[in-house]
Structure 1
Amino acid sequence: MAMPTPIPLGALPLQRRRAMLKRFGTNFAVFLFLSDLVLTTLLLHLARLVRPHLPWGLNVGARGELLHFSPALYLIVPTIWALTFLFSSVYDPERTLRWVDDVQTVAVAIGMATLVFAGLAYFFYRDLSRYLFVTFFVFDEVGLIAWRLFLRGIIRLRRARWPHPVRRVLVVGAGKVGLDVARQIEAYRWAGLELAGFLDDDPDKRNRHFLGRPVLGGLERVAEVVKQHHIDEIVIALPLRAHKRMVDLILTVQRLPVSVRVVPDLFDLAFFRATVEEFGGMPLIGLRDPAIDEFQRLVKRLFDLVFASIFLVLAAPVMAAIAIAIKLDSPGPVIFKQQRVGEGGKLFTFYKFRSMYMDAEERLQEVIHYTDDGKVLFKRRDDPRVTRVGRFIRATSLDELPQLFNVLKGDMSLVGPRPELPWLVDRYEPWQLRRFAVPQGITGWWQVNGRSNKPMHLHTEDDLYYIQHYSLWLDIKILWMTIGAVLRRVGAF
């Protein structure tokens, strides 16, 4: 069989391609950021010009004076929009790859920025026309979303000739179904997909090429291949007879920082939260999709942004006092930063007020406790690494307040399973990895049901209960119960 000639992209060194993609992504994000601010300012001016000609409302205030427009708003509004957009992951390509995600993210960010603007106007610009405000909101929603869709259309037209991939895809199975999937990936190169290669256990297919892409080894090499070839997506296309092998593979890849899809067959995956979607006319089962649907996620994110902002404003004096106390109590930074595992197994920087001495990490093994069956309990009450101020802020959970910034950044949610340490995740059993199917939170179901008094495997059972019974009302209930747990200092030390 004659092999197609590989595209020129394959001849480029991997690191060079990644660097080119990174530069393009950075430059495009900067362009998009600046264009959003310019367009928002222009739409504000347009709303100001159009408002007097609209057939509703009056241009007078409550006391009969003419409503005025402050030129300072041309600076204030873009500043509010800039800060809100940066905190709302509007420019994160991982979260806005699909057009529906892009539109939702922008729409929510505009809504949040508008709420902040409304609060500011209420206190400092009481004579600003409310109809002007509403007109600007409508113009901005329509204008920025239309601008995004226009840019996506331009990118789609150009990517047919653009050689830089956005997401690298590994196909597991080089049989008929796997090759069909690979052909569709090649057909969707305009969307930023690149076929990296195949995995297959058939010895006759080792070291062969299909559609110009190599078979990179057997299924046992999946973790190694994901790391070496910077894989972003895995599509499993194994035959029915490989059912047991497929299930083992799924359990393995659940811990990897990749999206996983399975071409459906007659196998039982009822123990996973799965969604069916279409790709190139073929149905795929998403095994890494969150346990909450897109609308629930949208509502949850909006809820997080609103209440995290409110909590930060209310807690600002307390946080300032804690920062001063920490500096006076012991040497070292005020904020403790640590890598934690977030939704989908992705690492992020986790913030807390520092409650321990600077050598705490080196002394970790001194204080780890285990249950009788070898499960990690982790905390102990007489931890000698904790400072005097640290004991108070840990007992009252005030050390968690900086995580409100993680919520605004989109790394965490107000409610959800706690983000875990990477070395603890390495000890997880396969069923425990399901806790990463939703955004990780500041508080959660296990925190209000015993908190640190439980061993780790029971924490996970509580987290899975939360995932299976998720609702916005459950989030509100947990937040309310958290207040009681903190006041009673249940399980906190």
Structure 2
Amino acid sequence: MRTSRTLRIVDAFVILWAVAGAYSIRFGLDSTFTISGQDSSYVWLSIILAITWWLMLGAWSTRQSRILGSGPDEYKRVAAASLWLFGFVAIFSYVFRVDTARGYVGIALPAGLAGLLLARWLLRQHLSVHRQKGRRMSRLMLIGGSGGIVHLAATLVREKHAGYVPVAAYTPGDQSSSNELTNAGLPLLGHEPQTQAILEAIDQCKADAVAITAGVQLNPRTLRQLGWELADRNVGLILAPALTDIAGPRIHTQQVAGLPLIHVTTPTLEAGQRVAKRLLDIAVSASLIVLFSPLFAVLALMVKLDSRGPILFRQDRVGFEGAHFRMLKFRSMVIDAEARLTELAHRNEGNGLLFKIRNDPRITRTGAFLRRYSLDELPQLFNVLSGSMSLVGPRPPLPSEVAVYEQDVRRRLLVKPGVTGLWQVSGRSNLSWQDSVRLDLYYVENWSLAGDLIILLRTARAVLTGHGAF
């Protein structure tokens, strides 16, 4: 794959930059760039370290095409390979009593690791642009029941950054699904449950990989033979079980008598996790309140001078386990906005239960600016500090919304609502109600502290672009 070849070159460049930089900072170079004395031994160490580092990135499969472009696995492998390497250096130095310069290692490791991760991120953005245009994609033939195929195909089409484009379907043992698949835009290449027939279909659509979806009617022996044949043809094999919106930390595989059993743990927020999340909320919200205090004063003055009424807008919202609280925002509408809601109901552009108007006449001039960059939500930091909200979580709903929630939607109330969340970084008001609910439930089911930090970083970009805010 072209991206894998590019990564080999980029990795080599970053490693050489980190190792050479660490050497020059620690030992220095004279005006003629000559090396003398004991420092010359570190030249050979640097060469060996650079070559070994590059090889370990390959040994840890950090350049495999299946992990490039999406998911955290690529970053985890880069970090693991780098840390293992320097762990070996530390053990070697201790066992053989080699006096390795700590400053040299202390510069090379963090600089190289940061450079590698940054380079991977930049290449991922570049790859994502190509994939959104339909380039650098793997052709995928889907095998299984019609329902599982349609669901998987729709997901892959929506998430183009994953790098798979469904090109055909094969439904072994099911002859009644052609209309459903045709509506999904997938040609049906057959339904015979024999390995040879499936292989002929793969050749026909020129698939790079095969995905086995839910509802597949193939016996274990046929699946095993198919796997052997695909390996001989260098065609990838993907198993896509009927598990949706389940994140990696909750999935564990166990080998039992040759069977790969998938265990899915129950989503719970343990006491230690709750404490860690709360400490993060307190530390970040308190710091931001102090940092933004001059901005708070300026925005408050702008709101006061623009229109009559209070500076802060207080609204009843539903929080953790159904508890009500008063959410704070800078007032962005005229004071009689709630009274005019009925007359504007016919202009609603919101998704489902949410009322939104793109050019709402109730919004003040200052309010439009505040909403554009989500500055009206800054007072919610006080809600976070007091404990009624969290920095990251589902959108805080109104009591009227909660009153008509379906049972599964009520799972959003199992965690504190957030100032930001997956809905904030994924389109905000541009999302459908179903997508908003799906993102919030995904967050509840798969919460992690690392996930919160990533969402906070993505929020900064979403706020600066103003995408989906109105």
- TM-score higher than 0.5 here? no
When Rg is computed on C-alpha atoms for both structures, the one with the higher figure is 2
